[in-house]
Amino acid sequence: MINMHLDTYLNFPGKNIAVGCIPLLKRARVEVYRRSSLGHYKRMSKTPNLYEYLMGHRFTIVPITTLEQMCYASNFLCVKDHSILAIEVEKVVKKVLRNLEAKAQADPHRYRALLDEARKDLTRLKQSDQFFPHKREFQELSIDVTSLQLQEITGGYGGIRCMTCVLNRKPSN
């Protein structure tokens, strides 16, 4: 996805653990506000990028590739600390690459470099056999992953997190 919201390139599977696409995290600017003793909020002068902000707060970042980001790898659902539901990225890759190839053919100036990067990512992912959510870091960090065969939902520009919401029902009297 070219135009995206935050949870398509960053998410949190557990306390102090982030999953994100590093180049995008380094481009995203952060504005931090502090509350004064009078209750007013004041913007802090230093504006780090999101990567620096997370690292400064001692987060461990599990990196995903640009291709995995385009497949909505980080749009998983955290059901509890260290436990996520995620889409099998490897099942979505071909469709994402086909769509990107069509865009690159129609507008090579805008999409050719992205397509080249995605193809390199695919080669690296195949060689390492580390397609999301089967990341070595998840084992090392004791992240429990339940993989779901929901690859068709990514065609709607989202992942499993985008198709869920909080439901609070009150008992009827």
User: 121 in a domain, yes or no?
Assistant: yes
User: 167 in a domain, yes or no?
Assistant: no
Look up the domain containing 99 and give its range: 6-156
User: 168 in a domain, yes or no?
Assistant: no
pLDDT at 150 > cutoff 50: yes
Average pLDDT rounded to a whole number, residues 4-17: 83
pLDDT at 135 > cutoff 70: yes
Q: Exposed, middle or buried, 92 (CB in 10 Å: 0-12/13-18/19+)?
A: buried
Question: In total, how many domains does the chain have?
Answer: 1
For 57-115, the pLDDT digits (tens) are: 999 999 999 999 998 899 899 999 999 999 899 998 999 999 999 999 999 999 999 99
User: 164 in a domain, yes or no?
Assistant: no
3-state SS string for the chain: CCCCCHHHCEEEEECCEEEECHHHHHHCECCCEEECCCCCEEECCCCCEHHHHHHHCCCEEEECCHHHHHCCCCCCEEEECCEEEEECHHHCHHHHHHHHHHHHHHCHHHHHHHHHHHHHHHHHHHHHCCCCCCCHHHHHCCCEEEEECCHHHHHHCCCCCCCCCCCCCCCCC
